[in-house]
Amino acid sequence: MAGERTSANLADLLERILDKGIVIVGDVRVNLLDIELLTIKLRLLVASVDRAKEMGIDWWEHDPSLSSKARRDDAAGAGDRDELAAENRRLRERLAALEAGTAGTAADGADGGGERDAARPAPGKESTS
């Protein structure tokens, strides 16, 4: 009879912990002659998934190794990464051209205003039409 009561209390305790959540905090420090060699900070949160979501903790939903939805999202984002890499490459080429002293050619070709500049007469040679 005492064994049944203990298990019921343990189940109640576990239910209460998962419902409310519990935080366990600890620090481990290793010193040698008053010189701190290593510090480990431990933080442990025990709570149900629903309670964790209420607290704003949902990292497992965004981890590709734990969530198939996160894997799909990660694969879909690959195109965006390729586009960003191409833009980054173009910007680096423009910067290299500017640093090399070809600022006029690099700026004209890169911003799309090359046709407008080509149609404009050079300073001092304006047309009289």
| 75-122 pLDDT per residue, tens | 666 667 788 889 999 999 999 999 998 655 545 555 544 444 444 555
Q: How confident is the model at residue 22 (pLDDT cuts 50, 70, 90)?
A: confident
Let me know: does 72 contact 79? Beta carbons within 8 Å.
no
Averaged over 15-19, what is the pLDDT? Answer: 83
Inter-CA distances, 91 with 57, 88, 110, 129, Å:
38, 5, 9, 39
Q: 75-111: buried (b, 16+ CB within 10 Å) or exposed (e) per residue?
A: eeeeeeeeeeeeeeeeeeebeebeeeeeeeebebeee
Nearest to 19, CA basis, from 58, 56, 67, 55: 55
Task: List pLDDT tens digits, range 36-72.
Answer: 899 999 988 888 888 888 888 888 788 778 777 777 7
pTM: 0.37
